[in-house]
Amino acid sequence: MGEKKHKDPNHETASHHNILTSLLGSKEEALNSIVYSYKHGFSGFAAMLTDSQAEELAELPEVITVKPNRIYRAHTTRSWDFLGLDYNQPTGLLQKAKYGEDVVIGVVDSGIWPESKSFDDSGYGRIPSRWRGKCEEGEAFGANNCSRKIIGARYYTGGVSQADLKGDFMSPRDFGNHGTHTASTAAGGLIYNASFHNLATGKARGGAPRARLAIYKACWGRRIACGGAALLAAIDDAINDGVDILSLSLGGPEEIPGTLHAVAKGITVGQSIFYEIQQNSNFTGLVDGYSCDADSLNGTNISGEIVLCYAPDLAASTLPRQSLPSAVSNVISAGGGGLIFAQYTVNILENLYQCQGIPCVLVDFEIANKIANYMSTTSNPVVKVSPTSNVIGMEVLAPKIAAFSSRGPSVAFPGVLKPDVAAPGVSILAARRNSYFFDSGTSMACPHVSAVAALLKSLHPDWSPAAIKSAIVTTASVRDGYGIPIEAEGTPRKLADPFDFGGGHINPNRAADPGLVYDIDPKDYIRFFNCTLGPSDLCDSSTGPLYELNLPSIAIADLKTTVTISRTVTSVGPANAVYKAVVEPPAGVQVVVEPSTLAFDGQFVLPPLYGPPDGETRCDPGGVSGTTRSSARLSSAQKVPALERAQHRKTILLEGVTPGSTTLARKWNIKKVLTKGALCGVKLTVADAAELHKFMLRG
């Protein structure tokens, strides 16, 4: 994959056919081989090739890389209130961002169940005119299933096995329920009296309830299996359709390709991570061998008893939803009255339907060990069975990092801290067809972050994806509701660190006003990552290690000596603000920040940065961000008040503006005006800079 070489998508596809024709020998074979042509956000294709053909293709000079088709897996009524996004709070981010009004969230997942009340479009206005997507019809899904809420829906079957396609709807309709759950978590409308078997009864809604949804079904079957080729096609279409946010609750053996190109096009991408790692258990069955398999219960009288169940052989690789049903069936068959099921994760709400009517509860191994000790030291141990109840407020120690949450460091890119941030992902109540259902996982956390990104995009439409990410990461909390450091569950429990939660647990209201952001030119993403993977035309002697990318975090693999790292911050806060660095270094590491204080006095000067061949000095645009539009046209030439007030106007270098002028012509090129040193030595107030930026965006 790489940058597009042709503006016309058809020419891009033709170039892909030409490459395959040269490889396979005929146009007919090329047409039969190609599965997808990626022609909107980036250039590339998916094709059916033998191993030897793939190796030969990789040797062609116009091909950057060849990768096999990977298979990825799709990984509450109160979670948003817990995050501080109270629906009726007048001063919070939710209201300031107008509930995400008209922001388009693209959800790449297993589809959508459009009849769910969470996707009712009552009260919505016209679909934004900038939207270029479409509603694809198919099995049990017609054009009428799209609406002013679900404004687009597509589906992709290429690269997905026939076994996963079997039984699923050949349309955007959701079969596995995963996509419906994540979409409603991100942008579902306000629903009263939602519950799961009368648990957590209350108002269900998404984090950005007025956002629009664009659905891209690339995941199929009960396994929610997603082909890498289909994912790329979905991302390519989403870029062209005009989504603002991309939400991918997916994980697999490596990073999902194509997301970098979406970021380069100004789209904020939220992605859950799930690395296939082996967790080690120090526990075995402790109570009379009751692991609750058929052999351990055979011949034992447990009639009417509550049984403590361990799953030591399955715990490292099997989720409770897979091993719990067999344990329940075995206990019932042996006459048991209930069970206590020990596993890594401590959530059971989404598995209640598997308890088949008997009392059951899920505990982690630490609690199970205490229960086992109690049973071994008590002649007549008893268990009190109480009805299920809701526990809310300060009675709950939260947030905590769940045992199933994937941890860093990143294997592919150790110079980039992963994860970025933590978000609610345990017992999330959201839509499932025509009802509501609890589910847990990193898949549930991802739409929480995507929704917050949508709100920030609505509140700050000029912020780049890097600025939005920075605001979320730098304002996250590392302490729980009691003010003590967040715990990370697992074996053993421990205090969470950046490899558990990145910057911390997401705090939406604080993210709305971060003060400083770490912004990144999209080209830097591509330059740094491509050069990490191998030689590239974008690589040069100035390209450094990944930890030099202007991220809101620093990760250095195998630190052995002193390293100096630079970061550039942009003030998006008050005009007169002072920021002081506070350092809590990792054990055994000394950290010095220079300067230790940043003071803003309401003025900023854009200093010279580099000199072009003509000898004129160009400058870093500082806090004034760029725009992706190629040109703009006014009804007539217009004066810009901010330029009139600017000092040293003779050094203003706006393309299409005469040096010293304060007027913009009727038409001018603004594609790279603010990202290639538009202003040189110009002194502006923060207010004037903001005015100039908004004027440019308005065109």
217 vs 210: CA distance, rounded Å? 22
Residues in CB range of 187: below 8 A, 6 or more apart:
100, 105, 206, 207, 208, 209, 210, 211, 212, 213, 451, 454
How many Cα atoms are found within 13 Å in the side-chain-facing hemisphere of 619?
A: 19
Torsion of CA 168, 170, 171, 172, to 10 degrees: 30
Exposure of 493 in the CB half-sphere (CA atoms within 13 A):
13
Which DSSP helix (H) or strand (E) runs through 571? strand 570-571
Assess whether 178 carries a catalytic annotation.
Answer: yes
Q: Which of 40, 43, 109, 625 is catalytic?
A: 109
Token pair 């002649």 in the structure block, residue: 379
176, 164, 162, 188: which is closest to 109 by C-alpha? Answer: 176
Query: What span, in angstroms and rounded, lies between the C-alpha atoms of 534 and 527?
Result: 11
Contact 106, 262 (CB under 8 A): no
Q: Token pair for residue 190? A: 């306000």
Task: Note if 521 is an active site residue.
Answer: no
Largest CA distance in the chain: 94
Catalytic residue among 116, 171, 443, 625: 443
Please state the three-class secondary structure of 391-430 as a single string: CCHHHCCCCCECCCCCCCCCCCCCCCCCCCCECCCCCEEE
- What distance in Å separates the CA atoms of residue 326 and residue 501, rounded to the nearest whole number? 33
Whether the Cβ atoms of residue 258 and residue 235 lie closer than 8 Å to each other: yes
> Does the annotation mark 181 as catalytic?
no
CA–CA separation, 122 and 209 (whole Å): 12
d(CA 362, CA 440): 14
498 preceded by cis ω (within 30°)? Answer: no
d(CA 425, CA 443): 7
Q: Of 75, 178, 181, 505, which residue is the catalytic one?
A: 178
Catalytic annotation, residues:
109, 178, 443
